[in-house]
Amino acid sequence: MAAMPLEGVRIADFTWVVAGPVATRILADHGAQVIKIERRIPGYFGPRKNGHQADLNRNKLSVAINMGDPRGVELARRIVRLSDIVTDNFSARVMRNWGMDYATLSALKPDIICMSMSGLGHTGPRSGYVSYGPTLQALTGFTRLMTDPDGRPAGYGYSYSDMAGGVSGALAALAALWHRRRTGRGQFIDLSQLEALTSVVGPGLLDIAVNGREQPEVDYRAQETPAAPHGVYRCMPRPEHDGRINDDRWIAIAVRTQAEWTRFVMAIGSPAWASDSRFATLFLRMRNKEALDDHVARWAAEQNSEAAMELLQRARVAAGIVANGADVCARDPQLNFRQFWRPVPLPDGSVTHVTGIPFELSSTPGSIRTNAPFVGENNEYVLGELLGIGAAERAALEANQVVWAPD
Amino acid sequence: MSDDRQPADGALAGLRVLDLSDHRTQMCARLFADMGADVIKIEPPGGDEARRLGPFVADEPHPDRSLFFWYYNLNKRSLTLNLETARGREIMTALAASADVVIESFGPGGGAAYGLDWPTLHRINPALILCSITSFGQDGPWRDYVADDTVLTALSGMMYVNGFPGRPPVRPLGLQAGHGSSHYGAIAIMLALHARDRDGVGQWIDLSMHASTAGMLEHVPGSYFQNGISEPRRGSLHWSRFFRVGKCRDGYLMHCMLADWTSLIEWVNSDGAAQDLTDDAWNAYAYRAANAEHVFDVLDEWVRDKPREEILERAQLLRQPYASVRRPEELFDDEHLIDRGYFVEVEHPELGRSFRYPGAPYKFSGTPWRVYRRPPIVGEHTAEILRDDLGLEADELAILAAEGVI
């Protein structure tokens, strides 16, 4: 097997929370050596080698440096001199206050790539504002337009903004690295998570800009997804392993073409209502959506969600269960076949799983090699081996709280 | 592989990408075009199916007025080619022979009918990278299943956690299975390009939209693998329990109790609305998190009769990260985005107008993201590409057009 694409690339990673760690985990999965430079925040984010933190930080190294101490900053700068990329996702002032901004670091290492993934960017009247995924989703329209059918805003149940910012950051870093390999020049990337998220709102933005149209709440009638039936329909309750009755089972269906409609009708047993002239064409089905949805909902209510999905997929109709955590993480035959969730070892010798890699490179695939490090777990490697600091000096740094001992 | 018509100032200048992806993942190649790569959208004569999707300029359906197409095809060139003809496939092969990247979404193994399968492409151009985007991947029990964005966000776990308990799950705004997959596709291609720099050969990327969307979850896998919990829908309460939507007199806002608690409660209390939140027990972070619903209920009552702007301005002074729950229309009036030059004006000379487009998702200091050209009209660059790249003469082009090849 050939080496992974980013072997030999080193990243000094100051990112935390989610967006930044998502970007650097993608780079770490493909061979980059990602060194998290971090402080201890006891208990704040949950256990380090299980669940969310394992998911975000597998394959990375950790060194615990006190950036509040000038000697800590000097250590971090020494790591930067040996690195290709420096990443952070603080608001704009933090790296500057440490003397770790692009102007300073590029003087130390002229071809360094610095990527700052702040909430609102490094310029502009609100560059100093603190923001989080939920506030960015509120500002961009996701929260307001993702409503319950009764109109109440719900939005994403999680920080999709961090995921969107994370993949944008990984791509930006790879592009800058590509450019550097051709020209020898580094640069500064000012990634505003607000802007990265706005850029994935979709064609509705042009409908606003060009047609001046107020965007409707999300439903299943958008011109960009013409289909009917189209929506989620509640299925029959299902007994779970623990005996509990789960009545939160749903199927998503999208019938787009006339051929699909014909196959859909046959698959569900050619009920009389399906030959109603109000449902004869896609145009009519979309226009008479409520009446159509009533019929489909009554059909779905009698179905087991998985069985209905199989039935419709055998008829080549787009359909899928609305998968919950267990469905997607444990019971999805496709993700399991492709071994999407990857095993990592827990400290007690057992195994847990983390998000894998959604694509397969035929000759240089990425890999999940190690679980997330405890904070400071790699102090000895980073300070000793990389920076060449002897054991006595390392002990002094610890004693002086410039470096924190591993958790 | 360089193209001297493309200004060599983008980070990816000099790369040639052939885009044969369907309407779901056309953003993938656009990410390259925005960074200076020469991206050619290969369309059937008459235009890509994405051009039939709305919304349209002034609601007039027309292949060159689809805003759906515009959004995903800014900065690309367009070449029409009928891959159902032998000559069309020959031209495709000739273009692939000198390209860096081909992106296709014909379905598992589907490119073979057009000579766009991996063994064929690899033989004619060993340096080429082929990115095959499918709903579920090239193999596995669901490989031939069909899906649109709704079904993909449902199956991947993205939809289940959005919405209110006991109510229907809520679909994302925008085609997020497509957007996430497009980004993962672009990342995969960049990785393959880096490997090619070292190894000298291209490779085949098998990208699953289903897995890509599952790769855009945040808390769902962690909760399941750590605690065996399927994360529920919680309405607008964020899973961290620090954020929930509240309703003011004149609109919605996002409450946040992640910043300094004391100053937040002093403020609420100065309005006489803190109720029991002044009790000492609430000073403990864990107690607040455990009883977040009560905290937000009190805060909701506090803001109910107030104007939203008043709350937001004061929150900013106190460094409380409150936010307006806006409609996307308001983005275009956002002074911060305007100051940063986020929106860009794109000339559409054929319509005699220019329009504001969303701009750079990242600002590169040395190789800025920028607009090179408006989205192409159908086949706008067919002649120039075939002439410049393949040396076809005007009379040959006329014959190809007459035969329905281009």
Question: What angle (nearest 5°) sits at the alpha carbon of residue A132, between those of residues B215 and A358?
Answer: 10
Domain ranges, residue B37: 16-216+365-402
- Tell me: pLDDT of B289 over 50: yes
Identify whether B232 is preceded by a cis peptide bond (ω within 30 of 0). Answer: no
pLDDT at residue A206 in the model: 98
Write down the domain spans for chain A: 10-200+338-399, 230-333
Q: How far is CA A267 from the centre of its chain?
A: 36
pLDDT tens, A309-332?
999 999 999 999 999 999 999 999
pLDDT at residue B28 in the model: 98
The reported pTM is 0.98
Instruction: State whether B48 and B156 are in the same domain.
Output: yes
For residue B293, is it within any domain? yes
CATH code for position B269: 3.30.1540.10
pLDDT (mean) for A124-136:
94
Q: Write the CB contacts of B60 (distance below 8 Å, at least 6 apart in sequence).
A: none
Contacts of B72 in chain A (CB under 8 A): 203
Instruction: State whether B375 and B324 are in the same domain.
Output: no
Handedness of CA A252, A257, A260, A261 (dihedral sign): positive
Q: Write the CB contacts of B233 (distance below 8 Å, at least 6 apart in sequence).
A: A154, A157, B160, B161, B162, B163, B164, B165, B167, B169
Local structure of A209: helix, strand or coil:
helix
Say which CATH class A10-200+338-399 falls into: alpha beta
Question: Which residue in B318, B325, B332 has the most chain A C-beta atoms within 10 A of its own C-beta, making it the best mutation to test that interface?
Answer: B325
Q: Minimal Cα–Cα distance from A395 to chain B, Å?
A: 34
Pick A358's closest partner by Cβ from B186, B212, B362.
B212
pLDDT at residue A43 in the model: 56
For residue B8, is it within any domain? no
pLDDT (mean) for A272-299:
97
ipTM above 0.95, yes or no: yes
Of A38-47, A130-139, A247-256, the one with minimum mean pLDDT is: A38-47
Instruction: State whether B185 and B37 are in the same domain.
Output: yes
- Tell me: pLDDT of A132 over 70: yes
Identify whether B55 is preceded by a cis peptide bond (ω within 30 of 0). Answer: yes
Q: Within a 13 Å sphere around the CA of A106, how many CA atoms are in the beta-carbon half?
A: 16
pLDDT tens, B247-286?
999 999 999 999 999 999 999 999 999 999 999 999 998 9
**Minimal-distance CA residue of chain A relative to B243:** A134
Polymer length in residues for chain A: 407
Q: Does CATH number 3.30.1540.10 belong to domain A230-333? A: yes
Instruction: State whether B63 and B146 are in the same domain.
Output: yes
Q: Answer with the one of B307, B330, B353 that is the final residue of a domain.
A: B330
Instruction: State whether B206 and B298 are in the same domain.
Output: no
In whole angstroms, what is the distance from residue B148 CA to residue A316 CA? Answer: 12
Catalytic residue among A162, A327, A332, A407: A162
Return the closest-CA partner of residue B24 out of B162, B205, B150, B193: B150
Contacts of B55 in chain A (CB under 8 A): 203-204, 206-207, 211, 213, 223-224
pLDDT (mean) for B197-213:
98
Mean residue pLDDT of chain A comes to 96
Do A200 and B174 make contact, defined as CB atoms within 8 angstroms? yes
* Contact assessment for residue B130 and residue B144, using Cβ atoms and an 8 Å cutoff: no
Tokens 């891959």 locate to B83
Q: Please tell me what DSSP assigns to residue B79.
A: E
pLDDT tens, B49-98?
999 999 999 999 999 999 999 999 999 999 999 999 999 999 999 999 99
Do A323 and B160 make contact, defined as CB atoms within 8 angstroms? yes
Return the closest-CA partner of residue A60 out of A68, A72, A49, A47: A49
Contacts of A196 in chain B (CB under 8 A): 361-362
Do B190 and A174 make contact, defined as CB atoms within 8 angstroms? yes
pLDDT at residue A321 in the model: 98
Return the closest-CA partner of residue A32 out of B11, B190, B203, B129: B190
For residue B7, is it within any domain? no
How many domains does chain B contain in total?
Answer: 2
For residue B229, is it within any domain? no
Q: Minimal Cα–Cα distance from B375 to chain A, Å?
A: 13
CATH code for position B86: 3.40.50.10540
Instruction: State whether B55 and B148 are in the same domain.
Output: yes
pLDDT tens, B335-372?
999 999 999 999 999 999 999 999 999 999 999 999 99
Instruction: State whether B109 and B204 are in the same domain.
Output: yes
* Contact assessment for residue A347 and residue A377, using Cβ atoms and an 8 Å cutoff: no
B181 vs A: CB within 8 A: yes
Secondary structure (DSSP) of A153-172? B---SS-HHHHHHHHHHHHH
E strand spans, A211-370: 230-234, 238-239, 245-246, 250-254, 318-321, 342-345, 351-354, 359-361
pLDDT tens, B107-154?
999 899 999 999 999 999 999 999 999 999 999 999 999 999 999 999
For residue B155, is it within any domain? yes
- Tell me: pLDDT of B4 over 50: no
Give the other-Cβ count within 10 Å of B242's Cβ: 20
Do A252 and B316 make contact, defined as CB atoms within 8 angstroms? no
Amino acid sitting at position B61: P
Instruction: State whether B187 and B273 are in the same domain.
Output: no
Q: Answer with the one of B313, B330, B347 that is the final residue of a domain.
A: B330
pLDDT tens, A340-389?
999 999 999 999 999 999 999 999 999 999 999 999 999 999 999 999 99
Return the closest-CA partner of residue B168 out of B235, B92, B267, B213: B235
Instruction: State whether B186 and B318 are in the same domain.
Output: no
In whole angstroms, what is the distance from residue A20 CA to residue B102 CA? Answer: 29
Do B156 and A366 make contact, defined as CB atoms within 8 angstroms? no
- Tell me: pLDDT of B1 over 70: no
CB contacts under 8 A, B 255-294 vs A, are 256, 258-259
* Contact assessment for residue A206 and residue A62, using Cβ atoms and an 8 Å cutoff: no
pLDDT (mean) for B302-326:
96
Instruction: State whether B197 and B76 are in the same domain.
Output: yes
pLDDT at residue A407 in the model: 81
Do B170 and A218 make contact, defined as CB atoms within 8 angstroms? yes
Give residue B180's pLDDT band: very low, low, confident or very high (50, 70, 90). Answer: very high
Task: Determine whether A247 is an active site residue.
Answer: no
For residue B308, is it within any domain? yes
Q: Which helix (H) or strand (E) holds A57?
A: helix A51-57
pLDDT (mean) for B34-48:
97
For residue B336, is it within any domain? no
Give residue A44's pLDDT band: very low, low, confident or very high (50, 70, 90). Answer: low
Contacts of B30 in chain A (CB under 8 A): none
* Contact assessment for residue A196 and residue A119, using Cβ atoms and an 8 Å cutoff: no
For residue B349, is it within any domain? no
Do B180 and A133 make contact, defined as CB atoms within 8 angstroms? no
Handedness of CA A210, A214, A218, A222 (dihedral sign): negative
In whole angstroms, what is the distance from residue A364 CA to residue A1 CA? Answer: 7
